[in-house]
Amino acid sequence: MALELKQSEFEIERDKNKCISCEVCVRQCSNDVHEYDSDQDTLYSDNSKCVGCRRCETLCPTGALKIRNREDQFKTNYNWTSSHLSNIYRQADSGGVLLTGMGSDRAHTVYWDHILFNAAQVTNPSIDPLREPMEIRTFIGRKPERLDFEINRNKDSKESLKDTNIKLKTKVPPQLDLSTPIMFSAMSYGSVSLNVCKSLAAAASEFGTYYNTGEGGLHKDLYGYAKNTIVQVASGRYGVDVDYLNKGAAVEIKIGQGAKPGIGGHLPGEKVTGDISNTRMIPEGTDAISPAPHHDIYSIEDLAQLIYALKEATNWLKPVGVKVSAVHNIAPIASGIVRAGADFVTIDGLRGGTGAAPQIIRDNVGIPIELAIASVDERLREEGIRYRSSIIAAGSIRSSADVIKAIALGADAVYIGTAALVAIGCHLCQKCYTGKCNWGIATQDPYLTKRLNPEIGTRKLLNLLRGWSLEIKEMLGGAGINAIESLKSNREHLRGINLNDRELAVLGIKHAGEAW
């Protein structure tokens, strides 16, 4: 019964004059869009199967292919948009939950784009980072409330300073040492291929920053990058044992994720194959189900218990943090997490990415990261506990400008996930959950995963980190600041544009044009 009009989202245009029937497009497409008819010596394309990843268009040697977004075929309706109609048709067919991948593509307000950064003019000089030292090194972890020094002064000496022996008496808790305030978000082996993990790990290691295992365990090929690994403990505890905990440089308890606050995760049994089964420590072919809550955490007190259980298990040598999604009451929640003993709090915003999430939750649950950082930083300062934890912001950091704005709003560092994947070839077709990623990223099919060479991936990620770090230094210098630490929560350097009073108040910034 054909009730629905099957809409293809894309239209494939093949220029017959340019096409040489080399069949590159046929081989590159895991969705079987292109087909070669040898009798006719012609290539056919099926629009309805196309996901818009642009792999064929990119690799076509003669430039014969063009993938175009298809014009809306339904009658124009601002309320009942074509995506609502298509979704209802899909659900009426299957009775299932709509699944999607990557961050929300809905037109939520992107506050980054309504915030402008400052520069110094006349009254204080700007600094040229190419000639002068510019410090963007960042430490993640609990800072001491105060510092005590032991000062031994040689009384007979005239040059008092030279003969004075100063030693730090305060024991500083374990810290992560980042050469740039950018880390790679949690992406599990299973959601992405091992080549992606290798690229992230090697780039983090070479650049002096960190990547995060996600809830996928730690593959043995990544042991060499242990010093730059943040290991995650999520509700399913997949791959978690005492060796895993001690391999990492820090431990992150995952409570929530921006793309799917409040719900768990399911890695379907088809994706739990040989190596993934070993790394997650579950039998092959079984569903890896992460419950929505940790069933040993029903309160802040229980969270404290797990934080300290992890500190004990790692002999108090590693920072232990907590990742939550940005939700309505994020400020008191973060305050509770800090009081529970977390050395860092990761906050993942509404637009954060994912390998698979129910579309309805991804697009409708949570709050934007910009507002969350501002309100959490404000609350922790009011309560006098900001020093106890570092704040890591995540959830669609798209450029170095987003990084610098996040830090000025009050974050210590950021996690990038989608941006890192884009750097190694992702074209945001949002079909990660199918496991058929033509760019070899969100797939385990060996025919596809070999398309991503981890050495090239590493180089691209290093380039991205280098470029963004240079830009951060440029912007800092331009504002007359020579250390990123001085920018943290320095909201005087931000101005809002096209924002209302409530938005400005929550962000804690003035409107553009308002001055001292």
Residue 419 has, within 13 A of its CA and on its CB side, a CA count of: 25
User: What sections of 287-341 are H helices per DSSP?
Assistant: 300-313, 330-339
Question: What residues between 85 and 104 interact with another protein by CB under 8 A?
Answer: 90-91, 93-99
172 binds another protein (CB under 8 A): no
Give me the least distance between CB of 240 and another protein, in Å please.
Answer: 6
Q: Choose the binding region for another protein from 124-132, 283-291, 337-345, 480-488 (rule: CB under 8 A).
A: 283-291
430-449: contacts with another protein (CB under 8 A): 433-434
281 binds another protein (CB under 8 A): yes
Across 417-467, where does the E strand assignment appear? none
And the tokens for 149?
Answer: 């020094």
Is 273 a binding residue for another protein by CB under 8 A? The answer is no
E strands, 196-303, are 211-212, 229-233, 250-254, 265-267, 288-290
Near another protein by CB under 8 A: residue from 245, 300, 428, 462 = 245
Considering the rule CB under 8 A, would residue 49 count as an interface residue with another protein? no
Q: What are 318's two structure tokens?
A: 């590693």
Q: Which of residues 371-410 bind another protein (CB under 8 A)?
A: none
Which residues contact residue 278 at a Cβ distance below 8 angstroms, ignoring those fewer than 6 apart?
A: none
Per CB under 8 A, which region of 155-163, 242-250, 253-261, 482-490 contacts another protein?
242-250
Does 22 contact another protein by CB under 8 A? no
Nearer to another protein, 394 or 437 (CB): 437
Neighbouring residues of 135: CB distance < 8 A, sequence distance ≥ 6: 482, 483, 484, 485
240 lies in the binding site for another protein (CB under 8 A): yes
Residue 379's contacts (CB-CB under 8 Å, 6 or more residues apart) are: 331, 332, 334, 335
189 part of the interface to another protein, by CB under 8 A: no
Residue 318, φ and ψ in degrees, nearest 5: -130, 145
Which range in 54-62, 189-197, 276-284, 485-493 contacts another protein by CB under 8 A?
276-284
Closer CB to another protein, 81 or 157, in the complex: 81
**Are 58 and 1 a contacting pair, CB within 8 Å?**
no
State how far the Cα of 136 lies from the Cα of 145, in Å rounded to an integer. 22
Q: How far is the CB of 231 from another protein (least distance, A)?
A: 12
Question: Which three-class secondary structure state does DSSP give residue 67?
Answer: strand
Q: Does 364 bind another protein (CB under 8 A)?
A: no
> Where does this chain bind another protein (CB under 8 A)?
90-91, 93-99, 235-237, 240-243, 245-246, 266, 268-269, 281-283, 286-287, 289, 291, 295-296, 305-306, 308-310, 312-317, 433-434
